[in-house]
Amino acid sequence: MSFSHIQDGRARMVDIGAKPTCCGAVAAGEIRLKRETLELIKNRKIVKGEVLETARIAAVMAVKRTALSIPCATISR
Chain segment 11-63, per-residue pLDDT in tens: 777 777 777 766 666 778 898 999 999 999 999 999 988 898 998 898 888 88
Report if residue 24 sits inside a domain: no
Report if residue 21 sits inside a domain: no
C-alpha to C-alpha distance for 70 and 72, rounded to whole angstroms: 7
* pLDDT score recorded for residue 68: 73
Report if residue 53 sits inside a domain: yes
Report if residue 76 sits inside a domain: no
Structural domain total, the chain: 1
* pLDDT score recorded for residue 77: 46
Query: Which residues make beta-bridge pairs with 6?
Result: 11
* pLDDT score recorded for residue 3: 64
Residues of the domain holding 62: 32-68
The pTM assigned to this predicted structure is 0.50
Which of the 8 DSSP states describes residue 47?
T
C-alpha to C-alpha distance for 51 and 44, rounded to whole angstroms: 8
